[in-house]
Structure formats: structure tokens, C-alpha cells
Amino acid sequence: MRKHFIDNLRWIVILLLIPYHASQAFNTWGELNYICFSPDKAISSFIVFFSPFYMPLMFLLAGISTRYALKKRTYGQFILERTKRLMIPFIFGTLAFCPILAYIGDKTNCGYDGGFFEHYEVFFTRWTDLSGFDGGFGVGQFWFLYFLFVISVVSVGIIALVRKISGNGQKDRNIPFGVLCLFVIPLPFLYDLLVVGGKSFAEYLYVFLIGYYVLSNDKVIEKTGKYCVITLLIGIAACAANVYMFIWSGKDFGVVNVVAKAFAEWFMILGSIGAGKKLLDHTGKVSGYLSQRSFIFFSIHFLWIVMFQYWFSRIDGAGILLTYPVSIVLAYAATFVCSEVCYRIPFLCFLMGAKPTKS
């Protein structure tokens, strides 16, 4: 039986990417972006509130989905399917969209004054941190796809090894809620392990495997629903504390800030899964529409938010109204239009990892 709450949580997270990525242009901690505006604490607070848990939640949902996928597929079939759904969109998105982002990054951050097509040489020959903020080769938001592909392959190896050692299939165990809360403990120790581009393979592998082994258990999912108010309150309090310490306090709280981040991540994940199971485990026209187009939306959204912010930044006297809320609204509109067009073209669906319409 399909778990509709997984699909619904996934497209909700993806929709949040537009305001999230729009906010990065206003960050207060000096991180480079394709385009940068004056730092704004209120807008930066949006990023810091959501950043501990929203991408880990995506990896955990992928882990849950893997449990169900491997019930119907062999390991080889699963890897082939992951290659088509992840690596092809990764390659296509990196080659089709990231040169445009890098061109804007070079113009705004490094004073590049050459033409757009001339910049392709810069994109393919300047190798720095893979962000593309300096005009060099970058992968943009598509880091998620290659992370997820590598983690999926590694996890299949772990799953196969565990099955071989145990000699039987996975057994579902009713884990007490208190034990479930203890999964937060390893997180602070994982943030600095196997870091690529500022993101930890170890952290995302950990939550992926929890999704596969723990939160794919129907009894555990029901338990997260039972206690979702408690976990959400803890998670929101930890997110708020994280925002205060990192953005508003003006102090370095060190380990305390890291612990708050871990609590924000884990308890918001538990709360999201629980609330999703209780409130979002259904499908309809709207949820079905958004689920079908979410992968294409993911591929296109970043390009539009950066382009609108870049265009508005070139208008004399353009203020925060144009560069933030108006850019967000227009980026949503443009992304939905492009997603609808691409969804109706089977070849583009294939390149972006989506299943095309049958009509």
C-alpha cells in the first residue's frame, strides 16, 4: 500500500526551496551566493530555522521509500532505477542550468564582463569549490542528487551485507518512543565527517538508514503520529534556539549551538513524519499534481529565483520588496509554467527524472 504522506511531505519540502534559496542572497554570515544583497537578520532567520531538518528529512524519506522499493526490485534493478532517476537528472541539470547560474555568479561576484556563451569556457575550466558562485564549475542544487545516488548505492551494500549476516529478512520491532528519541545522540558527531561542499555524507547516510530500518516500520510511524505534538514542540523550540544563537545573540555558543541543531533536526523529522502520517496520508487532485511535477520543479526552481533576483538588482532603486517577495512569487509562477511544459514532453521528463504524463 502506497504511503501518500511520503509523497506529500516530499513536495512540501520542495516547494519551500524557492523562499529558502531566495533567502540565501541576504545571509548574515558572509556565505557567497550567486547574487548577494545587504545582510538581513529576519530573512536569514528563515534559512537557519529550516536548514537543520529540511534536507535530512528528504534523505530519511528516501530511506523509507527504499525499504518499499526493495520489496519489489532486486538490488541491480534498484541501482538501475536510481541511476535513471538521479544521475541522468544530475548530469542534465549540471550541464543545462548550472552554467547560467555560474555566469550570473561571475558577473555579480567577480566582475565578469564577457558574453554568456564565452563564459562556458570559464565554467568548464575553473574548478574551485563546486558551488559556481565564482563562475567556476558548480552543481547548484543538484548536489542532492549525487549525494542521494552515492548514499543509495552504499546503503544497498550495507543492506545486502546485513541480510547475509543475519540470514533472514528485516524484522519490524515496536521501538519505544523514548528509544526513538535517542537517535538524536550521534548527530552532533556526524556533522564534520565525510564533508563535501559543506555537507556531510555521514549525516545523510545515517538518517537514510534510520528511514530504511526504523521509520519504515508501520508501528513506529504510528508512534510518531501519537507523539507528534511533543516532538514538534521540542523541534520548534530547538529551531528557535538555533536561530537566536546563530543570528541574533552576537555570541558564539559553540557546542550548545551544535546540540540545538541536532535536536532541531531529529525532533522536527519525527514531528514531520508523525504529523504527515496523521494529516497528509491521502491523495487528491492537488497533491497528485504536485507529486507528479515535484522532480521537475526541483530541477528548475533555483534558476528562476536567481534570474529574477539578478534582473531586479539591475533596476536603479530596487528595494527588498522586488528582490525578495516579488522575486519569490514570480519564481513560483515561472517554475510551475516550465514544469507543466516539461511534464508534457516525455524526453524532458526522462532528463529530469520524472515520469511523463500518459495522456
How far apart CA 104 and CA 62 sit, in angstroms, is 32
Note the pLDDT of residue 318.
Answer: 83
Neighbours of 331 (CB within 10 A): 25
Question: Are 60 and 211 spatial neighbours (Cβ–Cβ below 8 Å)?
Answer: yes
* DSSP code of residue 10: H
Q: Among candidates 291, 269, 304, which has minimal Cα distance to 343? A: 291
Q: Quick check: is 84 in a domain? A: yes
Number of domains in the chain: 1
Alpha-carbon distance 184 to 314, whole Å?
45
Residue 41 near residue 190, CB atoms below 8 Å: no
Cell 545522540 belongs to residue: 185
Collect all residues with Cβ–Cβ distance below 8 Å to 250 and sequence separation of at least 6. Answer: none
Is 236 inside a domain boundary?
yes
Ordered per-residue pLDDT tens for the chain, 359 residues: 678 999 999 999 999 999 999 999 999 999 999 999 999 999 999 999 999 999 999 999 999 999 999 999 999 999 999 999 999 999 999 999 999 999 999 999 999 999 999 999 999 999 998 899 999 999 999 999 999 999 999 999 999 999 888 876 666 677 899 999 999 999 999 999 999 988 999 999 999 999 999 999 999 999 999 999 999 999 999 999 999 999 999 899 999 999 999 999 999 999 999 999 999 999 999 999 999 999 999 999 999 999 999 999 999 888 999 999 999 999 999 999 999 999 999 999 999 998 876 54
In the block, residue with C-alpha cell 525532533: 267
25 is a domain residue:
yes
Name the residue among 126, 144, 143 with its Cα closest to residue 135: 126
In sequence order, what are the residues at sequence separation of 6 or more whose Cβ sits closer than 8 angstroms to the Cβ of residue 34? 25, 101, 102, 104, 105, 108, 109, 132, 133, 306, 310
357 lies in some domain? no
Answer whether residue 223 is part of any domain.
Answer: yes
List the one residue out of 254, 269, 159, 258 whose CA is nearest residue 204.
269
Which residue segment(s) compose the domain that 215 sits in? 4-351
Residue 138 phi, psi dihedral angles, 5° rounding: -145, 165
Helix (H) / strand (E) containing 196: strand 195-196
Residue 359 lies in a domain: no
What's the pLDDT score for residue 147?
A: 97
In a domain, 112, yes or no: yes
Cell of 355: 515520469
Three-state DSSP state, 199: strand
Separation of alpha carbons 23 and 45, rounded Å: 9
Look up the pTM and report it: 0.95
> What Cα–Cα distance (Å) separates residue 46 from each residue in 18, 55, 62, 304, 314?
12, 14, 24, 20, 25
Q: Are 168 and 175 in contact (CB under 8 A)?
A: no
Beta bridge partners of 5: none
Spatial distance between the Cα atoms of 44 and 120, rounded to a whole number of angstroms: 32
